[in-house]
Amino acid sequence: TGGASMTLDIDNIELDVSAGDADGDGLTDRWEELYGLGTDDDGSVDVNNGPEGDPDSDGLSNLEEQTRGTDPNSDDTDDDGLSDSVEDGGGEFISVTQTGTNPLNADTDGDGLSDSVENPLLDFVDANQPGTDPNNADTDGDFLGDSVEILDGRDPTVAEDVDPVDGVLLANFDGNQVNYDELAVRTPGFLAQQIVDNGPTGSYYHLLDGGEGDAGNYLSFDAPSDTTGWQTVQFSMDYRADRVAADGWHVAFLDIPTHGPSGGVRAGAGGFGDVEERGMYSNSIGVGFRTFNGTNATVNYNGNQSGDVSYEQQEVDWGSVEVNLQKTDSGDVLLNATLFPELGLLGTGQQVFNNYLLEDVALEEFRVQIGGRTGGASMDLDLDNLVLNVFKSGEGDSDGDGLADLWEKKFNLSTDDDGSVDPNNGPDGDPDGDGLTNLQEITLGTSPVDDDSDNDGAKDGVEDGGGTFVSLSKTGTSPINPDTDDDGLLDGVENPLLDFVDADQPGTDPNNADSDGDGFKDGIEIAAGSDPTSGNAITSGDGIIANFDLKGEKYSEENFGTAPIVGLQAKAGDSDGNYYQLLETVGSAANYISFESSEDYTGWESFSFQMDYLSTEMQADGFAVNFLSTETHGESGAVQTEGAQENGLILNSFGVGFKTFQSTEASITYDGIDVSGRLPFTLTNDKWASVGIDVDRDPITKTALVDVTVYDEPDRQGLAEEVYTDFEVEGMTLEDFRVQLAGRTGGSAMNFSIDNLKLIVDGSGGGNSGLVINSVTREVVNGSVSVTITWNSREGQTYSVLASEDLALGDLTLWDELDDGIQAAVGADVTSFTESGLPLDTKTRFYIVRIPE
């Protein structure tokens, strides 16, 4: 045991030096005992006990079964539907009585089809009669696996038009390699990360060294060409592992739009545990080979990973690894990973993953990166002869009409009619009548048989993708994205030429998430009952918790660690004004900023929270956002978390924790319990970024759906990474609440600052500021009109009342402020105000109640 420990109990220790053959029949006693055959009968008494016996009547004698490793009591040892006797293991299908398959492997070629259904002497019909070769995973040799083609409804015995777009020796370290970058995380890789001479095929690359611990080293290759549209990927490399103690290595296919065209990218840049040995990256595929506490492999895509799969790690001698990816038309990917005991993919392969299904894979343009880690223990890892082959669907065009055959087949257009017979089959055809020709549709990626490919209510022909709304016939939006600006409103309902009415006529710009530039997305404003086109529908004190520029609610500070509070900071760098620094690069900090509550959110149905943050010199440990129950924790003052601050565990409260030590991982908590488990996220460093937390709650069942999103720019702008989407929290009985931030540094530390905290609450007990006008009464008194309004209130709070005859006056400075010093009623939860002296012909009057700035 090392730094950790274990319990190991042993019993019944036996040593069998000789297999033994008491009856001299050529069948070992141990084998006969295993299968219930007589160890003292050579077949003289019962022929089935002897070498020529055939207890299972499969045509194989006991002696043949022992040699092959099959079960003498089962005529189909691997349960694939074929008798052991016909599976001769020769590797070539001769007939149904000599299939060439392995009697110990139900899927000899690993193509996802059982040996028994594969018969290349038959025609293709379906998955039950594929007509394929059970010894060849790609019967027609088109680089698309048999099962992939069947899943896509293709014939796996007829080669598709597939072109190699990239067949590249990434590196052999003998002067032949594409550009690559080296990255060392934690301690520098001074022993490893170097080219070494005199390998079995020349020079090789030393990635990890057994003499150093706590290293995370990477070899990251540039993309040799554009892989967009790939159909099949084949990656291989020679490798050697030695002195294996910890922790592991991985092969990753990095998404270029997310991680860039070059440069090393740390695993867990999206926030993952066991980072290098798991190979987990946002929007990317990784295959990890862990070597600590056993050897277990995982497949990962964008934070979703397989369970651990055990494998055998060869040591000392050079071997090789192959990873194959095959994409289906539906966007799923089947992954195979195989380890070989010899260089160049030679020897009997150990298939670690066989057609592992990754669903809804958006990866298109990618590059390759290898990473490895040693912790308290270590290992040697050497690499050589890295090869990448990429194939994509060919652009065959049988009728020469400029439309690829595969595209025409996909949408049931003729591949042998250029429009001469039916114009809708040709490049100028428009089968769906959306105003776009087939040639335009294939270029845009839209469907030629659906006039609204993204189902957003706007036809493909009007969504020109220009980014500017000109008219209803030229909207500037994307025809393949139903919500181009990601504001929560479908493109088809947004029209900035109309006035705001409601969610069905928002009057907003479909190319601008915040049409009025007030800092809140259009969809959020509508959900909160605000006009998303006014520019002043949400003001400080009415959505803003704090921007630290003398606006926002009051707060208190606490430090439950030994480091001092940092606190309010003057404008610096790229900040838009003052900001609050929660943590600095000093260890042992447990800092809190807790905001007072001035509204009652009881009965809320949804809320949206966001804040800007700045993280620099990030090492440890993290931060959390909590929504504290005022009933339990009062209306002000910091409330200490249960355990580490970054976990956000507080009783009778809801929270989101953001861990930043060793990996960046988020978690959702409720009532002092981690209800989600951790998921990775990307913490933007060295520039202002933002985080959003959106919650929708069923008013009856109290089941809440939680979204957590991080952005690489302030104010929910830039690249959005959805960490949690519609995560369900049952029984969220939290009612009135207030906001608190907590952060921690331990042995390591980080700088962490916050700004522009905003909260919109919607529901029966709260509007965008928690205030609801409950009643309006009108009466005539002494020849004039008096109007009395009543709203929910909190004792001790001061309110102001504004009025206007025109709701279109979105600029609240143009409204009449009737009174800015109304004290809440004592001993009651509602307060009233009366405006008197209005003319008798007053028919319309609008009122706003808010907390004065």
Query: What pLDDT is stored for residue 12 in this prediction?
Result: 87
pLDDT band at 540 (very low <50, low <70, confident <90, very high): very low
**What's the confidence (pLDDT) of residue 393?**
65
Reported confidence tier of residue 810, pLDDT bands at 50, 70, 90: low
Contact 641, 652 (CB under 8 A): no
Q: What is the mean pLDDT of residues 83-92?
A: 90
Looking at 732, 761, 790, which one is the last position of a domain?
A: 761
What confidence score (pLDDT) does residue 205 get? 93
Alpha-carbon distances of 241 from 191, 203, 208, 318, rounded to whole Å = 15, 16, 9, 8
Instruction: Name the pairing type of β-strands 673-674 and 679-680.
Output: unpaired
> Among positive and negative, which fits the CA dihedral 404, 406, 411, 414?
positive
- Same domain as 781, residue 674: no
pTM: 0.42
- Confirm whether 6 is domain-assigned: no
User: Which residue in 443, 394, 402 sits closest to 165, CA to CA?
Assistant: 394
Residue 352 pairs in a beta bridge with: none
Asked if 401 and 256 sit in the same domain, the reply is: no
Question: Of 432, 449, 466, which one is at a domain's C-terminal end?
Answer: 449
Give the pLDDT band (50/70/90) at residue 528: low
Contacts of 808 (CB under 8 A, 6+ apart): none
Using the predicted structure, report yes or no on whether residue 542 has a pLDDT greater than 50: no
C-alpha span between 184 and 369 (Å, rounded): 13
Pairing of strands 679-680, 798-804: unpaired
**pLDDT at residue number 529:** 61
- Are residues 273 and 311 in contact, defined by beta-carbon separation less than 8 angstroms? no
**What percent of the chain is modeled with pLDDT above 90?**
44
Instruction: Give me the mean pLDDT over the 631-648 stretch.
Output: 93
Judge whether residue 547 has pLDDT over 80. yes
Residue 4 pLDDT level (bands cut at 50, 70, 90): low
Q: Does position 296 have pLDDT exceeding 60, yes or no?
A: yes
Q: What is the mean pLDDT of residues 252-273?
A: 78
Kind plus residue range of the DSSP H or E element containing 215? strand 215-221
688-715 pLDDT tens trace? 999 999 999 988 889 999 999 999 999 8
Here the tokens at position 803 are 């009025």
Most confident of 140-154, 234-248, 799-813: 234-248
* Band (272; pLDDT cuts 50, 70, 90): very low
Which residues fall within 8 angstroms of residue 97, CB to CB, at 6 or more apart? 86
- Residue 152's pLDDT is 60
The answer to the question of residue 349 being in a domain is yes
Q: Above 90 in pLDDT, residue 183? A: no
Residue 507 clears pLDDT 60, i.e. is over it: yes
Report how far apart, in Å, the C-alpha atoms of 281 and of each of 41, 254, 292, 333, 356 are.
61, 7, 20, 17, 18
Query: What CA–CA distance (Å, rounded) separates 423 from 678?
Result: 55
Residues 587 and 734 both lie in one domain: yes
Q: State how far the alpha carbon of 193 is from the alpha carbons of 190, 217, 268, 584, in Å.
A: 7, 7, 20, 33
Residue 766 lies in a domain: no
Residue 100's pLDDT is 92
Token pair for 449: 């048989």
622 shares its domain with 712: yes
Span 723-746, mean pLDDT? 94
Per-residue pLDDT band at 269 (split at 50, 70, 90): very low
Confidence check: pLDDT of 767 > 80: no
Same-domain check for residues 375 and 433: no
- Name the E strands within 547-642: 555-559, 567-569, 579-583, 589-595, 604-616, 622-629
pLDDT score at 840: 86
**Which one-letter DSSP state was computed for residue 96?**
T
So what's the pLDDT on residue 194? 87
Residue 419 is assigned to a structural domain of this protein: yes
d(Cα 486, Cα 482) in Å, to the nearest integer? 9
Rounded to whole angstroms, the Cα distance separating 579 from 75 reads 76
Domain residues for the domain of 826 are: 773-850
User: SS3 string of 509-522?
Assistant: CCCCCCCCCCCCCH
pLDDT-wise least confident of 80-89, 282-291, 568-577? 568-577
**From CA 667, how far away is CA 656, in angstroms rounded?**
6
| Mean confidence (pLDDT) of the chain | 86
pLDDT higher than 60, residue 538: no
| pLDDT tens-digit map of 30-76 | 899 989 999 999 999 999 999 999 999 999 999 999 988 999 999 99
Q: What is the spatial distance between Cα 302 and Cα 314, in angstroms, rounded to a whole number?
A: 29
- Rounded Cα distance between 652 and 421, Å, is 71
Confidence of residue 536 (pLDDT cuts 50, 70, 90): very low
Region 524-539: mean pLDDT is 63
Is 54 among the domain residues? Answer: no
Residue 826 domain-assigned (yes or no): yes
The long-range contacts involving 825-831, CB below 8 angstroms and separated by at least 24 positions, are 825/793, 825/795, 826/795, 827/795, 828/793, 828/795, 829/600, 829/792, 829/793, 829/794, 830/774, 830/790, 830/791, 830/792, 830/793, 831/790, 831/791, 831/793, 831/799
Token digits of residue 2: 């090392």
By the 8 A CB rule, do 671 and 631 touch?
no
Q: Which helix (H) or strand (E) holds 67?
A: helix 62-68
Q: 404 and 389 in one domain?
A: no
Are the beta carbons of 148 and 160 closer than 8 angstroms? no
Asked if residues 666 and 690 have their Cβ atoms less than 8 Å apart, the reply is no
For residues 568 and 652, state if they share a domain. yes
The H-assigned helical ranges of 412-562 are 438-444, 522-527
Q: Which amino acid is at 293?
A: N
Q: Is 331 found in the same domain as 354? A: yes
pLDDT band at 270 (very low <50, low <70, confident <90, very high): very low
843 and 724 in a common domain? no
Q: Give me the mean pLDDT over the 829-850 stretch.
A: 86
CATH number of the domain that residue 705 is part of: 2.60.120.200
Q: How many domains does the chain have?
A: 5
Q: What is the pLDDT of residue 550?
A: 57
Let me know: does 590 contact 620? Beta carbons within 8 Å. no
pLDDT of residue 395: 54
The residue from 492, 524, 556 where one domain ends is: 524
- Rounded Cα distance, 303 and 283, in Å: 8
Q: Is the peptide bond before 71 cis (omega within 30 degrees of 0)?
A: no
The verdict on residue 250 lying in a domain is yes
Q: Read off the pLDDT of residues 573-613 as tens digits, 9 standing for 90 and up.
A: 888 888 999 999 887 889 999 998 877 888 888 899 999 99
Q: Pull the structure tokens for residue 775.
A: 């009643």
Residue 768 pLDDT class (50, 70, 90 cuts): very low
Q: How far apart are CA 555 and CA 574, in angstroms?
A: 24
**Between 312 and 524, the higher pLDDT residue:** 312
**What is the model's pLDDT at position 213?**
66
Task: Give yes or no: residues 698 and 628 share one domain.
Answer: yes
577 Rama class: left (phi>0) / alpha (psi -120 to 50) / beta: left
Q: 385 and 410 share a domain?
A: no
Q: Report which of residues 554 and 750 the model is more confident about.
A: 750
DSSP 249-318: EEEEEEEHHHH-SSS---TTTT--SSHHHHT--TT-EEEEEE-SSS-EEEEEETTEEPPPEE-----SS-
| Lowest-confidence region among 61-65, 194-198, 220-224, 764-768 | 764-768
pLDDT score of 684 more than 90:
yes
Return the percentage of the chain with pLDDT > 70, whole number: 90
CB 672 within 8 A of CB 649: yes
The phi, psi pair for 632, rounded to 5°, reads: -85, -40
* Residue 780 CB coordination number (10 Å): 10
Both tokens assigned to 418: 């250029």
Average pLDDT over residues 228-232: 85
745 and 833 both lie in a single domain: no
Please answer whether residues 269 and 254 qualify as being in contact, where contact means their C-beta atoms are separated by less than 8 angstroms.
no
Lowest mean pLDDT among 165-179, 373-387, 408-422: 165-179
Is the separation of the CB atoms in 354 and 336 below 8 Å? yes
Structure tokens at 310: 């055990």
Instruction: Say which residues have a Cβ less than 8 Å from residue 511's Cβ, sequence separation at least 6.
Output: 467, 468, 469, 475, 476, 477, 484, 485
pLDDT in tens, 326-382: 888 788 999 999 999 998 888 778 889 988 999 999 999 999 999 988 876 788 899
pLDDT at 769: 45
Task: Evaluate whether residue 744 is within a structural domain.
Answer: yes
Q: From CA 685, how far away is CA 664, in angstroms rounded?
A: 12
